[in-house]
């Protein structure tokens, strides 16, 4: 024996028992499930899973563009990836999207046969 005594740790008198586990585990499970559901609900409100349009005219119930054939000219290139800053026209943003996601999107090209 060295003669040194161990420091005295004050005790709160609390003892963790099996009965505490019976209460603590279900409470923790319910809290975790509730947290998951709340975060899932909050995320769903801002952008629902599976949406392809993440930024264009989101205040509109439907994004529709219409063009007369006579006004198209000899060639028009339309975006189908929903990432173009010039939507509905393609600005080449699909290339970055494809590179980042492994997707294979590309534009719709309409042209006169001789163009």
Residue 78 sits at φ, ψ, to 5 deg, of -110, 140
CA distances 58 to 18, 29, 38, Å, are 53, 37, 23
- When the beta carbons of 39 and 101 are compared against ligand FES, the nearer one is 101
88 binds ligand FES (CB under 6 A): no
Which among 62, 75, 83, 86 is annotated as catalytic?
A: 62
DSSP state of 75: E
Judge whether 112 counts as a catalytic residue: no
| The one among 56, 93, 98, 110 contacting ligand FES by CB under 6 A | 93
| The one among 56, 76, 98, 106 contacting ligand FES by CB under 6 A | 106
79 binds ligand FES (CB under 6 A): yes
84 binds ligand FES (CB under 6 A): yes
In 10 A of CB 82, how many CB atoms?
18
From residue 17 to residue 56, the character string flagging contacts with ligand FES as x (rule: CB under 6 A) and all else as - is ----------------------------------------
CA-to-CA distance for 16 and 23, rounded, in angstroms? 11
Asked if 79 contacts 68 with a C-beta cutoff of 8 angstroms, the reply is no
The SS3 call for residue 36 is helix
83 binds ligand FES (CB under 6 A): yes
Q: Which residues are catalytic?
A: 62
């Amino acid at each position: 024996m060295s003669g040194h005594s161990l420091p005295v740790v004050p005790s709160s008198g609390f003892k963790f028992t099996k009965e505490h586990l019976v209460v603590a585990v279900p409470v923790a499970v319910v809290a975790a499930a509730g947290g998951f559901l709340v975060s899932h609900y909050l995320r769903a409100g801002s952008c629902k899973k599976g949406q392809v349009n993440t930024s264009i005219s989101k205040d509109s119930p439907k994004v529709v563009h219409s063009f007369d054939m006579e006004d198209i000219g000899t060639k028009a290139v339309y975006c189908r990836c929903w990432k173009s800053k010039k939507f509905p026209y393609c600005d080449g943003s699909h290339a970055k999207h494809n590179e980042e996601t492994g997707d294979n999107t590309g534009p719709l090209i309409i042209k006169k046969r001789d163009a």
